[in-house]
Structure 1
Amino acid sequence: MGAVESTRIVTYRADRGERAGLLVGDKVYDAADLTGDQRDVSVMSILGNWDDASARLANAVRSRLSNGHEPVSDAELLAPLTSPGTIYCAGANYADHAAEMAKANGTQIRPKSDRSWHFLKSSRSVVGPGSTVELPRNSSKIDWEVELAAVIGRKCKDVHLEHALDYVAGYSVAIDLSARDLSRRLDVADGSPFKMDWMSHKNFDGSCPLGPFIVPANEVGDPQDLGIELSVNGELKQKSTTAEMIFSLAEQIRDLSRQITLWPGDIILTGTPAGVGTSRGEFLKAGDVVAARIDGLGELRTTMV
């Protein structure tokens, strides 16, 4: 964004309700107040006009540094997109994770195909930094997965690989919580196309912690060169790098845009590395604190209740 200081895009709640903000250092500034443009009142509206908005916000930050704009007092950070568009999640996109899941489930590793594979997660499942997530009453095997989240900033259809990253507005940290014991219907025969239950597996309330902010893409550099890790109660469970993805983010955007138009505010979760609970026979319980970190994108913490 060309700002003098590193700038992160947030959604915050204060006396005026939920609004878009800019986190500069450790202070939150109201985006629309800085720019004087009501299109900047929400992060979704900013993304809907990303090319102009990114330049407008950068200019506003430089102006703030010289004219003394006041930060928002008592700003509570929410998910950077509290009501995103469609959430596309890459499945088995790290070879080591695919191998551990195949071993845990007694199946063969799915061979690499010519395009990436995704499932959908409900936008209503998103919660923000510091949130609590209520464990589903009908599951005893809630698992963790740290993922790099890419936020789309331009309408995207049938893009070529070399231009795919041009459609990314920024990046965030996500945790894909999964109800492993709900992934297969016990009353349906093996081999039936109705055996798998991705709805129950991946879409319970709070199953998509996201945040703590969006880092503009031009402040991140190469999304395939980021350290990624997750801990539970301070114990490291996952540690890898996004270089280990089977399909890069650019390949995922190319593949998805061939099937459906991607829109500003859509999110792509790019897969998780090895170290999930299923491979260890460990699952989340009430009181557990999950902390996910990605280089340059901050830390996202959530507590199970």
Structure 2
Amino acid sequence: MRLGTCRYQQQNYVFIEQAEYLLLPALEPRFAQAGWQDLQTLLEQGTDFQAVLNQTSSRMQVPASAVEWLAPLPRPRKNIMCLGLNYFEHIEEALNLTGKTAKKPAYPIVFTKAVTSVIGHETAVPYDPDTCSQLDWECELGVIIGKAGRKISPDHALEHIFGYTVINDLSARDLQLNHKQYFLGKSIDGGCPIGPVIVTQDEIADPQNLNLACRVNGVTKQASNTGYMLFNIAEIIATLSRGMRLEPGDIIATGTPSGVGFARNPPEYLHPGDCVECEVEKIGVLRNRISRA
């Protein structure tokens, strides 16, 4: 199933995507009362989405072109948890600039992005040159937690996943360099596009075999496969949950492959007017334009 959140006639709705139409169950009062205007609520309630789909009707259909796309979880309860340097070729391209030898980290590198950075598909990314002049792209597979847990074993980690999405971990490299930590450079307003949908885990048999790509103005910048992750999704969930309870609605960005702008010769960065497309196989294309703030 493909789920998300949109804005239609001045209200937010959780939708079920079906081809060029979106089903908005909350257009019927019984589903509106059940929380179908907030996906976070539905996840916490353990909603049976298939049962709801079986009760939908054509009265709930609206054309996808008639809505404003929002992030599937427009305002997450927690910061987005992110993996740094989780593809070996990305480590190589980053260290080539310093002359150091690339090697796999002993442990996953984890940082977060502020919830205020989250935007949706087709939403403009505000570009403020007074804040950042080195805005970079990072296409990533996103994981949405559906079942709470702590000290989750790798063998059972995938059982805690609700679904998968696409994340563009936009990065202000100048802020990142100046402050020596990731948080400010990763948390600029509009710096975390997510979407267009969440695909439920039952529709993706092997999340470690998905092609992913990033295009800027139609030119491919990144092309890889999730099978090249250094720490796989099960290991990531086990690591994060070792001392911290994971809860429904938690979002994990699993890292980006090589091809980012700062590692190119000469470096390439995003500017107003640029169109960035991040695509993950079986999920779709997340598209955003850069716009002068």
- Normalised TM-score (structure 1): 0.88
Which residue does the alignment assign to 2:6? 12
> Which of structure 1's runs of 4+ aligned residues deviate more than 6 A?
none
Q: Which amino acid aligns with 1:39?
A: G
Deviations 1:271-298 (A, max 9, x none): 0000000111111111110001000101
SS in 1 for 2:96: helix
Q: Which amino acid aligns with 1:299?
A: V
**Structure 2: tracts of 5 or more residues without a match:** none
Distance 2:36 2:220 in 1: 38
Q: What is the percentage of aligned positions where both structures have the same residue?
A: 35
2:60 is aligned, of 47, 51, 70, to 70
Distance 1:135 1:105 in 2: 28
2:163 is aligned, of 170, 185, 200, to 170
Which residue does the alignment assign to 1:3? none
Which residue does the alignment assign to 1:256? 240
* Paired residues of 2:27 and 2:60 also in contact (CA < 8 A): no
SS in 2 for 1:104: coil
**Residue 108 of structure 1, CA deviation:** 4.3
Deviations 1:81-139 (A, max 9, x none): 101133100000000001101112444435421x3221010111011000111123232
**Residue 22 of structure 1, CA deviation:** 1.1
Distance 2:114 2:98 in 1: 25
Q: Which amino acid aligns with 1:209?
A: P
Q: Which range moved further: 20-29 or 272-281? A: 20-29
Which residue does the alignment assign to 1:24? 18
Deviations 1:136-179 (A, max 9, x none): 32322111000000011111210111100111101100100111
1:42 is aligned, of 25, 34, 38, to 38
* Paired residues of 1:136 and 1:204 also in contact (CA < 8 A): no
Distance 2:96 2:165 in 1: 30
* Paired residues of 2:210 and 2:226 also in contact (CA < 8 A): yes
Which residue does the alignment assign to 1:119? 111
**Residue 256 of structure 1, CA deviation:** 0.2
Which residue does the alignment assign to 1:276? 260
Which residue does the alignment assign to 1:88? 81
Which residue does the alignment assign to 2:249? 265
Deviations 1:14-70 (A, max 9, x none): 1251121111222111234567352333111111123xx1x3x21222233xx5433
Alignment of 1:1-305 (within 5 A): 7-15=1-9, 17-33=11-27, 36=31, 38-50=34-46, 53=47, 55=48, 57-64=49-56, 68-72=58-62, 74-86=66-78, 87-109=80-102, 111-113=104-106, 115-137=107-129, 138-185=131-178, 196-280=180-264, 281-305=267-291
**Structure 1: tracts of 5 or more residues without a match:** 1-6, 186-194
* Paired residues of 1:233 and 1:289 also in contact (CA < 8 A): yes
Distance 2:81 2:101 in 1: 24
